[in-house]
Structure 1
């Protein structure tokens, strides 16, 4: 629904301990030195190719009991369980000529013009989807990892697909993705210059989807995490949630202020008509607030989202969302963990919308009749 921007609702449950209680909580239940760890004979050292382990992607596969690692021009497979030094390696450089093109376009040969593996996602029971920057020409391939109990690790380097929209061109830029139902949902900057910030849906049998180019939707975002969370037993109502920070555009915010958002799209969104062909018609976002509770905490917003972890419960529709925040305000510096209930997040999305009567007006709650179907569903 064009013309509607979601109201940035406040949702908060803070886990902030007092100085006294925090001291108690910070005492670990078990202390183990590096020397003690080695003496248990339950660990081994893996230092990568020629002792250089520059990791850019990590995926722990509990089904296969494997740890998959991605780095600069390389993929690794390590077995878990009993201590084992067995590892397998795949050399995966950029396609011929791409490294040279990258250098000619002004990028650094060592730190940018390589294939930095950024994405490792399980594709099916026997294959892994791997995507890398490809010397600023992203590429993806399927890695055969075998069946459970096997340690197979092979790739056809000639069977490579275009990775644009799946990982950023620049190895230093953040992004977030989740793979579900044969489709990849990704929040990233999808162009060579790192300016086109979008949420993509790619792969699968449906057409590619993306957000509109509109700063009200995504204003210089930094994507942190993406998760598919069902609304109910009807899988047609599944939503994909993106957690990110962006530059604030609300009235009253100082220039350069950063807000943390949670955005979502409907997984079954097929786009709209006219200018919304192959564009999300259900994207909506709300503000995610983490602050010290009470009247004295009004200026203690932790606005820099660092990471997100979903603690799954028996009800797959209602995981607890744990988020790590930092702050670099002029008032104080520090870190915090805030936990959010999915019911509260959904309530925010079901609340009032914000809109602007014209570009010169301030944001305000939309008080008109909510159209049917409701924007965002």
Structure 2
């Protein structure tokens, strides 16, 4: 699984990793569940990741370099290709871009696609002159071949952007490259292109804002419509500007599609897509007053395969486009809903001063957007055979009137009033003891990765839980950003403690109590010993007979303080969902009094036994039992005078302080 293009520039520096604990990344490294790689001191921008399961390699594109990593041992020295632009081109770039940072005059790798079993097709920005070439990767990973094919460099126009800051997406299918990209130096001409291969080179209608209006391309994915290959369609996910009468342009998220066998029109739309359609993707929260709060900016898409290749589950990450508040959400879409919209009415607009309405006139045959030679057009072998009225209709009606709404008409995950936004997503399907669960790995613009599971409840609502990063056999999570690549294991079951209750309360589908410890869940384990309850997290029911182990987690210690000083009562929470409370029990008393974790001015009356109790899902147990001894300032001063050194050692704070 890959998470790439996290936008926070210092993601992979330890001091800037904003996870729940400031020390968590150090802990991840020390436990072997995270490894950070910044391979080259003179290179940046490690955002292009491509997994190669056949060769057990992962390819990384950066500035002027292509790397090949061994997935069996990510710490092995990578295979490296240095692919800079020629000095003359770099000089030309500097002279042309004197007003821009000179660091952009490099060859930023933006496309890595498998060409065949032995070669990759790779493209870079080429210092604002895109170039592409072939990379020999060998037939087997054991050959350790990784080299540029000499004399194979060709133009990257229509395949890779000029500007490294502009997003592009690509898919190499049957020797043909489909790409959503800006194709000019100034970044004004956007298009969905088809190049390479034997079919006609194709693109979207140029400078036609009804087709594409300043788009930001996010993802491209082939999804078959039926068993008939001629029905196959390539879906593009992007966001673009849209405007209604009297309104300023606003951002809207889109899903577009084209037929793979589109040849363009005969007289109109020559060498232009004649099957291109697009629809709006809605991700919104309905308010009590009926007004929806929209998350308009599509940031990332993950296609989760199912047993039916025609109906994958589509996850989208969205953020808010306006400046009123900061927020983001994850919405889930079904292919059935998407196809229903594309089979519905077309959007129609008479002129610039008219509103968009549903087209009510006669729809020409074959229906615009239908693939030639497919289920509904078996006798038409090419779009060039389509009547002119079909092609003309397509040119003027590329947008569907209805929008695609998420499953259950609401987001799966919502974040508002927080200081970060989601930017990327990867999803893993996990088989647990009580069913199958989908775990979301969500990258943020602050450089953190949240692991989230959304559980169905009996009242038809859902419950969201934030979990931790862990590892599943050969499956790994790789995070790419500007400064490097980090590998996170997908499970860290041992951090949930040594008690059955803590393991059960974690509700992590990767982990289960095996009778001795919290360990990686396996369906082959004996049911008698394993304890796991992802949906409800009920330790009282699951851990009967194991509850005594909670005592292992109780930290018993003595803490000293000086009269008049400030003291923190420190208690490490193992779960972000737990409620912690401190209680004071004075000597010779059975009564317990709830106290604050910060005592601003210690008095002798504050001496006593303090207990930190955690409560989660109605399950309580003691985490810390602390005897606080308050010393008079006179006594401490006497000790300092006599010894010349402090009497008390400094407190050692844990990473996660509550």
Alignment of 1:330-341 (within 5 A): 331-341=324-334
> Match of 1:321?
314
Deviation at 1:66, TM superposition (A): 0.9
Secondary structure of 2:299's aligned partner = strand
Aligned counterpart for 1:215 among listed residues 204, 209, 213? 209
SS of alignment partner, residue 300 of structure 1: strand
Post-superposition offset of 1:141 = 0.7
Give the conservation status (yes or no) of the 8 Å contact 1:42–1:82.
no
1:266 aligns with 2:259: yes
Aligned to 2:357: 364
Partner of 1:247: 241
Report what 2:189 is aligned to. 196
Judge conservation of contact 2:217–2:238 (CA < 8 Å) in 1.
yes
1:300-315 aligned within 5 A: 300-315=293-308
Deviations 1:280-331 (A, max 9, x none): 0011111100001465462300001110000000111100100000104355
User: Which residue is equivalent to 2:154?
Assistant: 161
Tell me the alpha carbon deviations over residues 245-264 of structure 1, each in whole angstroms, 9 at most, x when there is no partner: 11113346x31311111111
1:70 corresponds to: 61
Corresponding residue for 2:232?
A: 238
**Aligned positions of 1:347-362 closer than 5 A:** 347-362=340-355
Q: Which residue of 2 aligns with 1:118?
A: 110
In structure 2, the residue corresponding to 1:361 is in which secondary structure?
coil
Give how far 1:375 is off: 1.1
TM-score of the pair, normalised by structure 2: 0.50
Instruction: Give the aligned partner of residue 60 of structure 1.
Output: 51
Corresponding residue of 1:148: 140
Q: Find the counterpart in structure 1 of residue 337 from structure 2.
A: 344
Deviation of residue 203 (structure 1)? 1.0
1:136 is aligned to: 128
CA contact (8 A) 1:46 1:85 kept: no
When normalised by structure 1's length, the TM-score is 0.86
CA distance in 2, matches of 1:45, 1:352: 50
Pairwise CA distance, 1:356: 1.9
- 1:66-86 per-residue CA deviation (whole Å, 9 max, x = no partner) reads 111111111111111135422
Give 5+ residue unaligned stretches, structure 1.
1-27
What are the superposed Cα offsets for residues 134-192 of structure 1, whole Å, 9 maximum, x if unpaired? 01110111111112332211113532011100011000001111111111111111111
- Matched with 2:70 is 79
Return the offset for 1:129.
1.1
C-alpha separation in 2, matches of 1:359 and 1:231: 35
When the two chains are superposed, the root-mean-square deviation of aligned CA atoms in Å is 2.2
Give the superposition deviation at 1:36. Answer: 4.3
Distance, in Å, in 1 between the alignment partners of 2:150 and 2:282 is: 45
1:373 is paired with a residue whose SS is: coil
Aligned length: 347
SS of the residue corresponding to residue 262 of structure 2 reads coil
Give 1:22's aligned residue.
none
**Among candidates 48, 54, 58, match of residue 39 of structure 2:** 48
- Counterpart of 2:623? none
- Partners in 2 of 1:82 and 1:56 — Cα distance? 21
Give a deviation string over 1:321-372, Cα, whole Å, max 9, x none.
Answer: 0000010435532110000001100110000011122344332111011110
Q: Matched residues in 1 for 2:289 and 2:115: separation? A: 49
| 8 Å contact kept, 1:221–1:247 | yes
